[in-house]
Structure 1
Amino acid sequence: MKRIALFDAKPNMVVGRDVRSRTGHLLLKKGAILSEKNIGMLARYGVPIIYIEDNLSDSSESLAPVNEVPDVINWETRVRAERVVQNIFRDVKMGNVINLARPKKVVDEIINELLENANIIGKLSDIRILDDYTFAHSVNVCVLAISIGIALNYSRLRLRELGIGALLHDIGKTKVPDRILLKPANLTNEEFEEIKKHPIYGYELLNNHPDLSSNSARICLQHHERINGAGYPYKFKGAEIHEYSKIVSIADVYDALTADRVYKNAVYPYEAIEVIIASSGNHFDSDLVRLFVENISIYPVGSTVLLNTGETAVVTQVHRSFPIRPVVKLLTTADGKPVKDLKELDLMTNTTLFINKVLDFKNTKRQ
């Protein structure tokens, strides 16, 4: 299966994954044959990318599990969450009162789903339902932050505080002019100074809200601070930064690094992990980095990997306690032939097997 931009789609290509509208309605089913007519229909619905079957997936049934890798939260929950962020941002821009009832409800839904799936690390969706970086990024940061909160054995109350602050951590960007926020090129020094004010704007919007904890609002203010004082806007250090903010700062950087933007390409998840580890004890809290690495897979579910035997495999499950030894399903033999028997191997128990490298970036982006 391959991810392509819609403008690269051509008639007779086979759809590799259900295509949905921005509101979650099914537009094309997996297996549908593309035509000029339905490509035009997808364009009218504003679909930016689709998945198509490629030669490798056509030649071997063993790739079927890749197509069915679930998001760590349900599709419907993700649609609602992105829509909630979009609506809150719109209300702020229009000067309306910020109603936190729906954000709180969707955060509770995310918490419930993550608690139910607490033992196996899943995959963050690589489909941006609203085709807007900020909304999808907000949801991913929320999911990542809550996952770390769960690892820290936070109470449900603390998970809610962390989750709502993470979901709205960038709300201050509503006060930054779009010409700066959406600029597809490097910012000038003056523009970057304006961007650096968004944590203050966000804190001012939420700090006195009657339905929000001050600790949640503090996430808006401090998510760009660094424990060595090198962050912004106030260059807070160490204990001056709330633990929630330290968690969200890690999640924010990880998701930003692994996202495709107009001005930069996404990096592999394991490369993003390396960046975060390199900043441990400097920019990020060392204990929280350790928990993050334990709970975010270096080899995400759906990754195609090369084993030390020369065989290729797809990662199907990741152990929370030891993510570098996941469960894999063999795809090809060492000489490149498709594996007919869908054999699953747990690298925790098959101690002579190791992952040499990730092969398929298409299946590892936005994890």
Structure 2
Amino acid sequence: MIQVHVSGQVLDDARDRQHTGEAAPTPDEVRRISKRLRAGIAHLPDKEYTEQLRKRLREFAAEQDMELPTPDTRSAFWSYRLEDHPTVDVEAGEQLQSMHVAAAYTEAQNSIVEDTLRYLEGTPGGKALGELHLWDANVQRALKLDRDTGTALAYDAWGALSQRYAATTETEALFFMAELNPGAVAYQTEAPQLRRDGKLDIIDFMYPPPMGKYADLAPETQELLASRAVRAQVHTFGYDENDPKYTPLTKAGHLDLEHLKSLPTPEAQRAAVLEVCARVAAMDGPARAADVEKYVEEIKVLRPDHEVALPNSTDLAWAHEARAQATPVVSTHGAFLPGVEVNARTGPQQIQPPEPSASAIAGAHFLPGVTLKPVPAPAAQVPSTATTSQAPPAPEQVRGPTLAE
């Protein structure tokens, strides 16, 4: 498990980036952006106009250059803010956003060896999308959008670009976060893309896991939860199904720590963790069908009388539709959890078989002996504590109510 050493110089650079923020567009830039994006659709009724604008922004994202500068270039991903870290001296009360840490660390690494690392906002595609200033209130007003709609469109466009960024990641995916948050693009878009591509093994977390959450669990369970394979699939945050960022993947990937602590043996706890991983793998689709089977096989050994519950057919159909909007990719890696064997995916020429239709998925039974049924919602909803003092340039930092951090 990697834990990045953040030098004082990197930390100061990150603070400067956060303090300076993104330069607001001039009135002339706002007019040019609005004219460009509204051309040919400004006359449409509100609902149709919004949908056409969304499509236009996604098409723009799809056209951008997201290729790796070199085959060995690593990719940085980020989420929310820097919290407890053994090598970082964050000042009392300081909330340093991980996006700035990732950017500063990337630039420091590249000053030593050019193109050794990249981050989304620093890529040609990220810079091009950033020049549209989709998070800026003046741009949103010029586009005739209210704040919520404008933010949703910005989130969607950056999410589309993030998916392509993840799809082109090869050697290492360095996640500047302690854990995945279900309200973040890293959880909803980037990590699923990497998993579907068979690249679970290249994900490394640059911040230590939140071990305080796991204090009452068996040592074996704590070790499992700290593994990068589990951290790259599950989340432990409460959620609200009425939150605009909620998706069926949020429900599928939720690990209830209180329930986990109530289980009497390390074996039962391991089975519960693997069951969440199996649900996530099922949501990832046919590319991970073998992974689901491996998880289920081990769960049945650990808890022979336990009924394994995978996502229901409706949620699987939603996941199918979400994947259909993503860029097709091929699988070139293979790795998994400690003690779980998974067949490696090989060769850049390997083409994924076509997925069945959403209607076929909705009517299908996933695995023999495995129940498809709803995953229970968490007992307690945890309100978000996310805050931001400036217009964010990336999808997950959206103003207004969000899923819990």
Between the two structures, name the one with larger relative contact order (CA 8 Å, sep ≥ 6).
Answer: 2
TM exceeding 0.5: no
User: TM-score if structure 1 supplies the norm length?
Assistant: 0.30
Higher strand share: 1
